[in-house]
Structure 1
Amino acid sequence: MSDIEVRHLSKSFDLKGVKVEALKDINLSIKPGDIYGIIGMSGAGKSTLVRCLNFLERPTEGEVLVGGKDLSTLTEKELRKQRQEIAMIFQHFNLLMQKNVIDNICFPLLLRGEKKADARRRAMELLKLVDLEEKANAYPSQLSGGQKQRVAIARALASDPKILLCDEATSALDPQTTASILALLKDINEKFGITIVIITHQMAVIREICKHVAILNHGVLVEEGEVEEIFNHPKSEAARELILGDISENQWNGETRQKERVLEDKCLRIVFTENSAFEPVIANMILKFGVPVNILKADTKNVGGIAKGEMILGLPEGHELQEQIKAYMVEKGLEIEEVTQYV
């Protein structure tokens, strides 16, 4: 059984008499205990989709089943109860600025009718979990961004949810803090088996923590599957853009002039597997064919805890020679993909 099943979901809005289709016929299945990523650029429909998962937005068409329950069949009272099992954290933390840390965490517990002493005891347990015990009496204005997000995570866990929705939860954080928050979420997933859905536009976040990913583009689900498989073999143009866009400017050899020249070359993206990483494949290839190959970019990325080597090569001219080089790399166990049009 899936924790979340989305069937033929569409969502449209009426903006000043103009119909805007935010989501179009989305189908996906999220298994219990998974860390599932939903990624796309701005305007792809990610946040609309995550709000449909707990019916903060009601789909125009289609179904959302959570734990086998069709949310559209629930009364408002039943829906409120169901939402207690679906917690949510946000990009801007949404903490109560006039309350201190422990009172922020106690707040949802007190709303549920728990005694204050029990709520505070539970809040301290959660602060220990997120490594913020010493900040119990601090106010949000006294915390860093990462500390605020840890408080938001503790508050979200207060209701013992089965599902945690994270809507751009690391977008406002620096890379080091992002890594610590992702490590915390991964630890929570492993300790408690909570299903986590990550909404992001950052491929690095997907690579670091997610097991499966859905890629949205203009409201359409264009690709879905295991993160490692999509990283190795992206099928859609949107997936290729997200993977290749995960390249910082200082990873390119040369200035803008060289990158403009690359547009005219045939380029290949190659991914090293564990078996191929220990052999000097590129050096051997150059020796074998006796021609230079331009290494435009080389990097190592963490994909689900596994280091993956990645390169973009500019191949020499000549179709027959290019095909021979490609066949050689495949023979040596490299994953290859032409990226000429994008690069």
Structure 2
Amino acid sequence: MTALNGINLDINEGDICGIIGMSGAGKSTLVRCINYLEKPTNGSVIIENKNLSSLNDKELRKVRQNIGMIFQQFNLLLQRNVEDNICFPLEISGMNKNECGKRAEELLKLVGLADKRKSYPSQLSGGQKQRVAIARALSTNPKILLCDEATSALDPTTTRSILSLLKEINKKLGITIVIITHEMSVVEEICDYVAIVDNGSLVEHGAVEEVFSHPKTDAAKKLVYHNNSSVAEMNSKRCIRIVFDGKSSYEPVIANMVLECKAQVNILFADTRDINGKAFGQMVLQLPEDNLLADKIIYYLKDKKVVVEELLDYVK
């Protein structure tokens, strides 16, 4: 059985890249290939011009020191307090106790848990546990941070706070972050780029704004449209999807269009998103049966600099 096939992906230094797909798509296998915990049967994984397949065990361990990782279930050592959890990787690397303590103190300030130094995991909330896990992953000064479903076990409010922390870490420390998730909202909140994995293959990738505005594949459309069932009738109707950016979303484009074109449209689907700090909205409209009038509406919207995509087929 092939878990991944034909994956060709570049992640630039300092970026936040989201790898998204449904359960079983191959996301976690892909992230384990990045740090070579899973060795691909074919192909290459190259980090800072080093082909991991050509390295011996000692060289591979050195590369992995530059790769931190956080998980859905935190993976903290229950018998160690917060400080000792953060110090654990440093102890393995041979750092003395005083230096470990200083590093732990510095990282606890960074993740907002300076007062939890001597607490144990059982005394922490889920969000606090993940902050400790992030601090531990940063202890060895990695250049890359891999996050495998790191917010899936958290409530929405805590998820936003963890994503905000990751974004702050990216800006302050310049660390490249790779986020594995099945939630498009996570990608929209924090990522610069997104790679969509479906059935073990990379089906689409690019800037988050571009993929949101112009999804090309069935997998991307399902994520962008959130599998909305109310638009199922589009298969037999002439419909368009329009995308509003941060500027046009504040203008009454639809109301003005109805007045200008003297035609009504049926709104089948609408939502708004915050993509990396910018307001975006989308609507799926059912156009009038009169093709000349429908064309007039499309021309009007494009003239107003609104992204318009005619939906010839919607994948349910």
- Give the TM-score band, short-chain normalised: over 0.9
What is the deviation of 1:325?
1.6
Q: 1:270 aligns with which of 237, 242, 245?
A: 242
Query: How many angstroms apart in 2 are the aligned matches of 1:336 and 1:218?
Result: 29
Q: Please give the per-residue CA displacement for 1:106-139, whole angstroms capped at 9, x wherever unaligned.
A: 1111111111121111111101100011111111
Instruction: Quote the Cα distance in structure 1 between the aligned partners of 2:128 and 2:250.
Output: 41
SS in 1 for 2:2: strand
Unaligned stretches of 5+ residues in structure 1: 1-19, 248-255
Which among 44, 47, 50 is matched to residue 25 of structure 2? 44
Aligned to 1:132: 113
Aligned positions of 1:1-343 closer than 5 A: 20-245=1-226, 264-339=236-311, 341-342=314-315
Aligned residues: 315
Please give the secondary structure, in 2, of the residue aligned with 1:87.
strand
Shift of 1:299: 2.6
Paired position in structure 2 for 1:3: none
Say which is worse superposed, 116-125 or 148-157, in terms of deviation: 116-125
In 2: Cα distance, 1:266 partner to 1:170 partner = 39
Is the 1:145–1:173 Cα contact (8 Å) retained in structure 2? yes
Judged with a 3 Å threshold, the aligned counterparts in structure 2 of structure 1 residues 49 and 316 are, in CA distance, closer, same or farther, namely same
Q: Which moved more, 1:63-72 or 1:322-331?
A: 322-331
In the alignment, residue 122 of structure 1 is paired with which amino acid? R
Q: Distance in 2 between matches of 1:143 and 1:263?
A: 50
Give the C-alpha shift of residue 342 in structure 1.
3.2
| Separation in structure 2 between the aligned mates of residue 40 and residue 293 of structure 1, nearest angstrom | 33
**1 or 2, which has the higher strand percentage?**
1
Aligned equivalents of 1:341, 1:246: Cα separation in 2: 10
Deviation at 1:260, TM superposition (A): 6.2
Give the 3-state SS of the residue equivalent to 1:21 in structure 2: coil
Q: Answer 1 or 2: higher relative contact order, Cα 8 Å, separation at least 6.
A: 2
Gaps of 5+ in 2: none
Residue 201 of structure 1 and its aligned partner are, at CA, apart by 0.8
Counterpart secondary structure, 1:62: coil
Secondary structure at the aligned position of 2:44 is classed as strand
Q: So what's the TM-score if we normalise by structure 2?
A: 0.94
Deviation at 1:317, TM superposition (A): 2.4
Query: What is the root-mean-square deviation in Å for CA atoms of aligned residues?
Result: 1.8
Q: CA deviation at 1:313?
A: 1.9
Q: Are the equivalent residues in 2 in contact too, given 1:214–1:223 (CA < 8 A)? A: yes
> Cα distance, 1:81 vs. partner?
1.3
1:259 deviates by 6.0
The answer to whether the 8 A contact 1:204-1:246 is kept is no
Contact 1:86 / 1:163 at 8 angstroms: preserved in 2? yes
